[in-house]
Amino acid sequence: MKVKGNVLFILSRVLPNIVHSMKEWAYTFDAVSKEQWIRQIESDLKQKTIASLQSEWWPGEPLMPLLHRDDVTEETVSLPISLFTQPPLIAEWISTSGQQATAINQQILDALRQDTHLLILYSSGNSSLFDAEWFNGVFQDLITISYQMEEFKESSFRLLEESGTRYLLRINREASSPPLGKLLAQTDPYLSGLGSFRFNYLIKSSGIWDVNTAGVLNRLVEDLTDWTNLGFQAADFFQQCILSLEADKAYFKHIIQTRVLHLLWYNLKAHLIQSTVEIPDHYLECHIYESTQESPEHFLIRASMSGLAASLAGSHTVCIHHSSREETPDLYKRANRNIHHLLQLESAMYKGVDPMSGAISIDYYTRSWTQKIWNALRL
């Protein structure tokens, strides 16, 4: 610990001087043409060819490794500065299935000690939806509590209403989900508690991403139609929507996917809401899942990279799904949660500036994927 402390002390003394000197630095590099750039790449590849760099983001979507500024003629993509003024909220996913109430209570308290802002309590169809013992010693007014189930019924909704707890009811909406009007009629026939509902649009990172994402967003557009047909305001619907993006293992791919979702969201609002009312935005969640057979050490490294990507791309919330294996030490859960604090306290990147704006390759794919998905929407 002494060595670590000395390193941190040295960094705290040296880093400010480095940052100051960079501000004084005159950027005097000569511009490099595309031809010169490719010649240098060919030289660095030695025995390999340029063709060896070719790959795919997903089947049918080529990854172009040699994008140069000469290839880009459009304006730079810059996201709203409001996305980069504060770090993502910390969310904790807790499965209540097959667990004793005391064990769930301990998990909630452990999460809150690490400054968790949002609890997402997940229940399978056969498990309890609510138990007052879960919240022993919990000041519920200081956090947001969300419930998510495999299947919602009117009885479950009434049980939550009678519990006296503050809650949000998250309803998963996928491309294959039933119409929203029918679902609401089954869950809340009197439409008395719709303000507590959150419509959760699950966007996976795998597969043919542009096609799959367009399918999910088309469900959102259809849900909005059902919502307004019930007599409610379109602006209220957007306030109750969540885009839940599964973190991709590829660092840059996840950054691009997140930026694409931001652009689609703002364009959907502008297209579908006939109002000048400003809607507070808090819609994009990043969920980082553990892979099968992945060691805790590898997951910690990957979660750190995904957390950084989510932050650089302006995600509103980050949720790290901890290992469900009993042999995983609690140390890793604490380390996973501390990723948020490192991003917030050590990086100093929340300055109200889009840090990825102007990155040629990221801009190219952000614009390309956004256009493909937009063209596939049934507006």
Helical residues (DSSP H) of 230-295, grouped into ranges:
234-239, 251-272
CB atoms near residue 272 (< 10 Å): 18
Model pLDDT, residue 15: 46
What is the rounded distance in angstroms from the CA atom of residue 286 to the CA atom of residue 373? 20
Which stretches of 131-253 are assigned E, i.e. beta strand?
A: 144-149, 168-173, 197-203, 241-246
pLDDT the model gives residue 211? 97
pLDDT digits (tens, 9 = 90+) for 23-60: 566 666 677 888 888 888 888 888 888 888 889 999 99
Binning the chain into helix, strand and coil, the percentages to the nearest 5 are 50, 15, 35
Comparison of pLDDT for 18 and 266, the residue scoring more: 266
pLDDT of residue 162: 67
Stronger pLDDT, 40 or 331, i.e. the higher one: 40
**Global confidence as pTM:** 0.87
Contact 117, 90 (CB under 8 A): yes
In this predicted structure, which of 68-82, 328-342, 364-378 has the lowest mean pLDDT? 328-342
| Nearest by Cα to 138 from 198, 94, 194 | 94
Write out pLDDT tens, residues 53-105: 889 999 999 998 888 888 888 888 999 988 988 888 889 999 888 889 999 99
Mean pLDDT of the chain: 83
Burial 137-159 (b: 16+ CB within 10 A, else e): ebeeeebbbbbbbeebeeebbee
Number of DSSP helices (H) and strands (E) in the chain, helices first = 11, 10
Per-residue exposure over 228-244, b if at least 16 CB sit within 10 Å of its own CB, e if not:
eeeeeebeebbebbbbb
Burial of residue 170 (number of CB atoms within 10 Å: 0-12, 13-18, 19+): buried
SS3 42: helix
Q: Give the domains, in start order, of the chain with CATH numbers.
A: 81-375 (3.20.20.240)
